[in-house]
Amino acid sequence: MATSKDRAVLQAILNPSAPFGDILGFAEEEEAAAVQGEEGAFTSELLEQVKELELQGVLAAESGDVNRALEKFSQAIQLLPERASCYNNRAQAFRLKGDVAGALQDLDTALHLSRGTGHVACQCFVQRGLLSLLQGHKDKARLDFEQAAGLGSAFARHQLVLMNPYSALCNQMLSEVMRKLQNPDIQGSN
């Protein structure tokens, strides 16, 4: 059976442009240690139960059952409210359901719990940046993508490049040159 790290590596290879492909699953132990260090009052069995609920939520969301996903993530939060990834996952489900306010609230909670560091925070900054872009708040999106890029997200770095008008113009010119080099017959057109 593949581990979460194996799945994250495959995700990064098979879908490198995915917003979370470069960071999924790599810091479960890091986050568990951080949560345990803060709380210290839960058992490894409780953590495993919460991780199982999160997995069930992810599978439900992937199958299109967003309500069930929200239910599973909420159950995980009830059991272990200090676990930032539960809020991050539920934020994704809220976003899928079209509840931007709920998603943003959970992302803020996850960022608070993670202290804005680590892989969960990186995912939160990417999600919040994407939501800001969808709402037309480019400055807010840029700030979140900068935070995520600083935490190691290649997707966020790519988004920052795309948001830079000079970079976009250079990319457009380079694409045109490459197109003409690959198809010399169309050089005369335009």
Closest CA to 118 of 3, 40, 27: 27
Q: How do residues 162-178 score in pLDDT, each as one tens digit?
A: 887 776 667 677 778 88
- Give me the pLDDT at residue 30, please: 46
Place 151 in a pLDDT band, splitting at 50, 70 and 90: very high
Q: Where are the domains of the chain?
A: 4-186
User: Given a cut of 80, is residue 143 above it in pLDDT?
Assistant: yes
Decide: helix, strand or coil at residue 5: helix
Q: How do residues 21-57 score in pLDDT, each as one tens digit?
A: 444 444 444 444 444 444 455 688 999 999 999 999 9
Q: Residues 6 or more apart from 58 whose CB is under 8 A from it?
A: 69, 89
CA angle 29, 5, 150 (to 5 degrees): 70
Place 185 in a pLDDT band, splitting at 50, 70 and 90: confident
Mean per-residue pLDDT of the chain: 80
- Give me the pLDDT at residue 182, please: 85
| The model's pTM | 0.69
- Give me the pLDDT at residue 26, please: 40
Residue matched to tokens 């976009």: 168
Mean of the pLDDT values across residues 152-158? 91
User: Given a cut of 50, is residue 96 above it in pLDDT?
Assistant: yes
- Give me the pLDDT at residue 100, please: 95
CATH 1.25.40.10 fits 4-186, yes or no: yes
Distance CA 149, CA 156 (A): 5
Mean of the pLDDT values across residues 1-5? 52
Q: How do residues 62-88 score in pLDDT, each as one tens digit?
A: 999 999 999 999 999 999 999 999 999
Mean of the pLDDT values across residues 86-111? 95
